[in-house]
A and B are shown apart, each in its own frame.
Chain A
Amino acid sequence: MADEPKQMKSIWYLVGLMLLVMGAVIAVAGFLQFIHPPATPTVLADLHPGLWWGLFMVCAGAVFFFGSRNRAR
């Protein structure tokens, strides 16, 4: 079977991957702070910004990542 020519990944693939990984880290940190609130919370910590922003980044990253996974540049 002949080797298929390698194609460069779309930039959005890497953007999605970065958002996914960083979003997951932030969401997990936010979840841990939701269960065990820190001794010195930040202002408006009761809104759990880490958790919400982390989940938002994961969703946005998933759209970019899976939308461009099979698409070359």
Chain B
Amino acid sequence: MTPITASFFKMCVPFLVIIPGLVALVLSQNPASGFALLHDGSQTNYDSALPLLIARYYPDGLIGLGVTALLAGFMAGQAGNISAFNTVWTYDIYRSVINPKASESHLLWMGRVATVAGILLSLVTAYWAKTFPSIMDYMQAIFSWVNAPLFATMLLGMFVRWTTPAGAFWGLLLGMVSSFTLFLAVKFAWINPALLTLSPVASDMAANFWRAWWAWLVCFVSTIVISIFTKRRPDGELVGLVKGLTPRTGAGNVPFHRTPEFFAVISFLVFIALNIYYW
């Protein structure tokens, strides 16, 4: 139920991100408003939109809440990502592949080292992020390299019982590499961006979304093809992981309007309606 509840909040995020951006855009195009976005040299700093709007509209008291909310958002995101980084590195890579016989105390030490390494790595990537036109461009670029192919892997892993470990690993790797290669190809003008976006008007953001789609497709197709030719795991090992092999727990006497299925259908309908309205 939790992911379904989260889906409603997730669908609100574009409004929180886009509406302040549109307000800043309209204000900055009206000289009478006295509002102007900051500039880094010749480049407009779009990341300054929200702090400037807070300073413009929030009175004392409320401005503390606004700044605190921004900082809390940054810190929560950073903490969550570093926590995920040290967990994935320590358990899924170090213990599984590099040192399977590691003791608990050694793994704890490794987790702490990974945390410090993750923080240092994030400092380096922060400087890289500054080279992008805005934080949103950077985030969407990262999503197109990592999240889009990962979505295909998750989808196949959760719903297709004959997906193999080799198929998932190499499919994900191919998806990520293809996405990053496309990014470099557009950045260094090896290819025309219109090839990627199927449109003569290709903004950076459009390229990000289209690259995400191609990465998803590459990962999806290559995972299926590789899975067909590689050895699958016995069904017994996939219980609890793959739909169809996991026994369903009934909702009991819960009325239909309080079941996860009911809220999932509503979430899906809202998702479709929003996409049709803003197409």
Min C-beta distance of A48 to chain B, whole Å: 8
Contact at B62–A50, with CB atoms within 8 Å?
yes
Residue A29 at the chain B interface, CB threshold 8 Å: yes
What's the count of A-B pairs with C-beta under 8 Å? 41
A41 neighbours in B (Cβ, 8 Å): 59
Closest A residue to B58 by CB, please name it: A42
CB distance from A62 to the nearest CB of B (A): 18
Chain B residues whose CB sits within 8 angstroms of the CB of A11 once the complex forms: none
Closest beta carbon of chain A to B127's beta carbon, Å = 34
Q: Name B residues whose Cβ lies closer than 8 Å to a Cβ of A.
A: 55-62, 64-65
CA distance A25 to B59 in the complex (A): 13
Complex: A25 Cα to B62 Cα, angstroms: 9
Which bucket holds chain A's interface residue count? Answer: 10 to 19
State whether the Cβ of A16 lies closer than 8 Å to any Cβ in chain B: no
Majority secondary structure of chain B interface residues (helix, strand, loop or mixed): helix
Residues of B within 8 A of A30 (CB): 59, 61-62
B59 with A33: CB separation less than 8 A: yes
- In the bound complex, how far is the Cα of B62 from the Cα of A53, in angstroms? 8
Report yes or no: A29 in contact with B65, Cβ–Cβ below 8 A. Answer: no
Measured CA separation A41–B62 after assembly (Å): 13
For residue A29, which residues in chain B have a CB less than 8 angstroms away from its CB? 59-62
Can you report 18 A-B residue pairs in the complex whose CB atoms are below 8 A from each other? A30-B59, A30-B62, A33-B60, A38-B59, A42-B55, A42-B58, A43-B56, A44-B57, A45-B59, A49-B58, A49-B62, A50-B58, A50-B59, A50-B60, A50-B61, A53-B62, A54-B61, A54-B62
